[in-house]
Structure 1
Amino acid sequence: MSDNSQHRAWWTQLNGYHWFVMTVASLAWFFDCLDQRLFSLARNPALKALMPGAPDGDIQAVGKEVTALFLVGWGIGGMIFGALGDRYGRSKMLTVTVLLYSIFTGLSFFSTHYWDFAIYRFLTGVGVGGVFGLAVALIAETVPDGARAGALGTLQVLSTVGNITAAFINMGVDALQTAGTITPGTGWRWLFLVGAVPAFLVFFIRGYLKEPEPWLKLKREGRLPTGSILAPYAALLRDARWRRNLIVGAIISSTGVVGLWAIGEYAVDLQRIVFRKHFEATGAVGPELAKLVNGAVTNAYLLTMVGAAFGMSFFTWLCGKTGRKVAFAVGFSSAAIITALVYWKMNSPMDAYWMTPLMGGAQLGVLAGFAIYLPELFPSRLRSTGTSFCYNLGRFAAAGGSFFSAALAKGAYGQYGSPDMERYSAMTMCVIYLAGIIVLIWAPETKGKPLPED
């Protein structure tokens, strides 16, 4: 690639097949994010139906425990399919992961107890966890170097479309329940059934998507990982350069993942407490109160996703303008400050409508950096393994944070209507962003450089 191409708009450097790869990988990630958000929206209604008569505090706590299991499955899936992607091919394993999360999301429709619901969510997480590393490795190794950052950043920006689509699907299902088309209280089941639709994407993946040339070259030369599934990890740890990159990438990614899933994910719980008190003060009760609270939560979520799209776009631009390290320093600092302020000061729906878009932009903006930066840290023969390991290691830490948050929630919701425990636990956990800032001291700058090889 000539130096001149580095100064052209990234999308002008793509041919028809590049756009096809972008589309397939983006759809896999779109549906992955759709599934994640459908789960967040359906989690508590599902548990209320599966745990009849349980107090609100128990529902909130069990919901966080089920989320933790989903995250553990996510982490395990990322570790497994990352290594399998380096051995057997990115497109082949992408097919398997899409099928896996589609099937078990659909099976959640048939849940009869909270424990089988939790098992389905764990197995869905295994499939969900494999997608990111495979998708970004596929794009990174297919598009020209000058288009790589823009293409990978756009992959993450488009993930917000999946989240927003989930919110509109939820609104449609709620309307069908209100109209009596769907039995009231069963809407959550239909949300999970919608999550099975991505299985049809497999036909396009298997029929037309090719493995990237760098991986095919390694296959022809007999240089792909062999041995047990742990062999790629052993290879990463043996080499000092890849070992350092693995540690740096894992800490950077874990910082953002914990911030999003163990802090930001539960903003909706605080919103429901705050919004309920706000509308109760206006005299709303019963179904009218629930309608106002749910509507305000939905509005806040949609605005958060708009903020996330702008945040990811800005982060992608910043990566290209200043370099990856400066972009992460700005992103983590912003996320820590804004998240703490939002949890401290949010006291009404109007507060949420301008605060949560800022928090979404800061927290999710750094995820665009993961898509751009992680595949730039590892060689082709270990790229899927290294990327998946870094991105998914934080799921285990986030799961621990969810269990911790569940314990706090039992205290907070034991006196329902008091948001103090939700506020202070989230504000305290914002200290995690310091880890991401500090590790940048040892992080390599990859701006303007080709993908590394042995």
Structure 2
Amino acid sequence: MPSQGSTAKYAWYKELSRYHWFVLSVAIMGWMFDTMAQQLFNLARKPAIRELLGPGATAGVVDQQAAWVTSVFLVGWALGGILFGILGDRIGRAKTMMLTILCYTLFTGLSVFSTSVFDFGMYRFLCGFGVGGQFAVGVALVAEVVPDRARPYALGMVQAFSAVGNMLAALTGIVLGQMVRSGTIASSWRYMFLAGALPAPLAIVVFKKLKEPDQWWKSRAEKKRMGSFADLLGEPRWRRNSIVGMLLAFAGVVGLWGIGFFSYDLFRPVLEASFKAQGISGTELAGKTDIWIGVTSLLQNLGGFFGVYGYTYLSQYLNRKKAFAVSFVAAMGMTAYTFWNLKSIGDMLWMIPMMGFCQLALFGGYAIYLPELFPTRLRSTGTSFCYNVGRMVAAAGPFTLGLLTRNVFKGYPEPLRYAGVTMCLVFLVGLAALPFAPETKGKPLPE
């Protein structure tokens, strides 16, 4: 291990011990498979609801029910995130991580057995509990275990691999889409959710091998109130940090879940029109479209992987606040540009990865910045509050997009384009919060 005075000569990863790498690997896998479960839902949402409603369902009803199920999932995500965030401070990071993995894999698997939109929504709500809890305990664990200089890079790596989870989901969609196209299976969505249940054994590894951080044990031994909402919102410093962090997260979550991930609904008609012009129809059209929707997800998240890591280095070169400002402006501009101008498969090949780069860069910021805002006794609770209360408010995003599409811009050609561009104004909320945000670059974690 290099001495304190010489650390700048070494790459950050050379400061990590074997156990540091183990903790980082477990946190990466927990969050990667979590995001895989999230993205499988995005890919399977419309086909699942269309099949569950039956052949008589109109496109408008399918869209409405898809927005409802998405919002239910986001509310479950927010509530579960807050609950598991508190547990992460009270019973420990490792124990809570195990519970979240079991929760999101179990209810992703049970989604296979859905027979109506109601029980499909119920399974997604319960899956959301586990999905929401994983982020806060994972980043709190990594932030407290790895050395200070390595912390932002390690946290950036955790978040970057969330894009890999999304890409695993996309590859699953491509393979299953090919099976639909060949007639091997009739539809793919149930198999997607079955794939999302496969990482459940990771919970056993967490239970057997992962230790609680020394900082957590020290805070507990000092008889401090662990995971107290009264302290989080009652003490002025932590209350301000909570509100600022929540507003930052709200802007990015609406941008991604209320706009970015609904861009598949923009891509699908572009793809279908292109394939119909080639004389493709019927089952082959459905299968080829599913394959290309998977390709667009790969492109979006490939861009996102580099976007997260781009934020990591930008935040070290500038600082946390300036990096957020650049990222919010870039996300707003590129998302609006994509919704307005994407008209062909050629456009998809460069617009989609650029949009993913800009949108997911913000999430690198959340992984690095939010744990730096709170002391050990409140780190999981505070991080979860920011990320998940922001998400709870953001649950209105899909409904707002649907309202704009069906009502406000109803008479316009391709109303989703107008709605998406209008929704991009949400990134201004993040910019407005930045003057009130503390700068944390180069500072130790609060105790």
* TM-score, structure 1 normalization: 0.94
- Offset from partner CA, 1:322-342 (integer Å, 9 cap, x none): 110110010000001111111
Question: Which residue matches 2:40?
Answer: 38
- When structure 1 is superposed on structure 2, of 191-200 and 324-333 the one drifting more is 191-200
2:432 to 414, 429, 438: 438
The answer to whether the aligner puts 1:423 opposite 2:423 as a matched pair is no
Question: Which residue matches 1:80?
Answer: 83
Deviation (angstroms), 1:409: 4.7
Question: Which residue matches 2:305?
Answer: 309
The answer to whether the aligner puts 1:221 opposite 2:222 as a matched pair is yes
Query: Superposed, which structure 2 residues align to 1:233-252 within 5 Å?
Result: 233-252=229-248
Question: Which residue matches 1:47?
Answer: 49
- Tell whether the 8 Å contact from 2:152 to 2:312 is kept in structure 1 after alignment: yes
Mapped to 2, the partners of 1:443 and 1:176 lie a distance apart of 49
Query: Structure 2 vs 1, CA of residues 419 and 286 (structure 1 numbering), >3 Å: closer, same or farther?
Result: farther
Mapped to 2, the partners of 1:262 and 1:7 lie a distance apart of 43
- Offset from partner CA, 1:103-161 (integer Å, 9 cap, x none): 11111111111100000000000110000000000000000001000000010111111
Question: Which residue matches 2:207?
Answer: 206
Mapped to 1, the partners of 2:361 and 2:137 lie a distance apart of 20
Question: Which residue matches 2:255?
Answer: 259
Query: Structure 2 vs 1, CA of residues 57 and 7 (structure 1 numbering), >3 Å: closer, same or farther?
Result: farther
Mapped to 2, the partners of 1:52 and 1:350 lie a distance apart of 34
Deviation (angstroms), 1:68: 0.6
Deviation (angstroms), 1:284: 3.8
Would you identify which runs of 4 or more consecutive aligned residues in structure 1 move more than 4 Å?
Answer: 178-181, 408-415
What is the CA RMSD across the aligned residues, in angstroms? 1.9
- Tell whether the 8 Å contact from 2:405 to 2:418 is kept in structure 1 after alignment: no
- Tell whether the 8 Å contact from 1:332 to 1:436 is kept in structure 2 after alignment: yes
Query: Superposed, which structure 2 residues align to 1:59-98 within 5 Å?
Result: 59-98=62-101
Deviation (angstroms), 1:48: 1.6
SS of structure 2 residue aligned to 1:146: coil
Question: Which residue matches 1:164?
Answer: 167
- Offset from partner CA, 1:160-210 (integer Å, 9 cap, x none): 11111111112222333445544x12x211111111122201111010100
- Tell whether the 8 Å contact from 2:255 to 2:427 is kept in structure 1 after alignment: yes
Deviation (angstroms), 1:6: 4.7
Equivalent AA in structure 2 for residue 382 of structure 1: L
Mapped to 1, the partners of 2:213 and 2:428 lie a distance apart of 37
Deviation (angstroms), 1:442: 1.4
Equivalent AA in structure 2 for residue 328 of structure 1: F
Query: Structure 2 vs 1, CA of residues 213 and 364 (structure 1 numbering), >3 Å: closer, same or farther?
Result: same
- Offset from partner CA, 1:87-108 (integer Å, 9 cap, x none): 1101111111111111111111
SS of structure 1 residue aligned to 2:207: helix
SS of structure 1 residue aligned to 2:395: helix
Query: Structure 2 vs 1, CA of residues 15 and 419 (structure 1 numbering), >3 Å: closer, same or farther?
Result: farther
1:332 to 309, 314, 328: 328
1:449 to 430, 443, 447: 443
- Tell whether the 8 Å contact from 2:172 to 2:192 is kept in structure 1 after alignment: yes
Query: Structure 2 vs 1, CA of residues 50 and 412 (structure 1 numbering), >3 Å: closer, same or farther?
Result: farther
Query: Structure 2 vs 1, CA of residues 164 and 412 (structure 1 numbering), >3 Å: closer, same or farther?
Result: farther
Query: Structure 2 vs 1, CA of residues 24 and 255 (structure 1 numbering), >3 Å: closer, same or farther?
Result: same
The answer to whether the aligner puts 1:193 opposite 2:176 as a matched pair is no
Query: Structure 2 vs 1, CA of residues 40 and 205 (structure 1 numbering), >3 Å: closer, same or farther?
Result: same
The answer to whether the aligner puts 1:378 opposite 2:374 as a matched pair is yes
Query: Superposed, which structure 2 residues align to 1:361-372 within 5 Å?
Result: 361-372=357-368
Query: Superposed, which structure 2 residues align to 1:119-138 within 5 Å?
Result: 119-138=122-141
Mapped to 1, the partners of 2:203 and 2:130 lie a distance apart of 13
Mapped to 1, the partners of 2:423 and 2:406 lie a distance apart of 18
Query: Superposed, which structure 2 residues align to 1:20-35 within 5 Å?
Result: 20-35=22-37
- Tell whether the 8 Å contact from 1:335 to 1:359 is kept in structure 2 after alignment: yes
Mapped to 1, the partners of 2:133 and 2:343 lie a distance apart of 38
- Offset from partner CA, 1:238-287 (integer Å, 9 cap, x none): 22111111111111111111110111111010111222233334444334
- Tell whether the 8 Å contact from 2:173 to 2:294 is kept in structure 1 after alignment: no
- Tell whether the 8 Å contact from 1:71 to 1:396 is kept in structure 2 after alignment: yes
- Tell whether the 8 Å contact from 2:170 to 2:295 is kept in structure 1 after alignment: no
SS of structure 1 residue aligned to 2:73: helix
2:118 to 105, 115, 119: 115
- Identity value in percent: 47
Mapped to 2, the partners of 1:76 and 1:400 lie a distance apart of 15
Equivalent AA in structure 1 for residue 330 of structure 2: S
- Offset from partner CA, 1:278-297 (integer Å, 9 cap, x none): 33344443344434433432
Deviation (angstroms), 1:432: 1.0
SS of structure 1 residue aligned to 2:228: helix
Mapped to 2, the partners of 1:432 and 1:175 lie a distance apart of 37
Question: Which residue matches 1:228?
Answer: none
Deviation (angstroms), 1:420: 2.4
Gaps of 5+ in 1: 226-230
Query: Structure 2 vs 1, CA of residues 291 and 112 (structure 1 numbering), >3 Å: closer, same or farther?
Result: closer
- When structure 1 is superposed on structure 2, of 321-330 and 190-199 the one drifting more is 190-199
Mapped to 2, the partners of 1:278 and 1:139 lie a distance apart of 46
Question: Which residue matches 2:397?
Answer: 401
2:179 to 154, 163, 176: 176
Mapped to 2, the partners of 1:7 and 1:146 lie a distance apart of 12
Mapped to 2, the partners of 1:162 and 1:109 lie a distance apart of 20
Deviation (angstroms), 1:21: 0.3
Question: Which residue matches 1:322?
Answer: 318
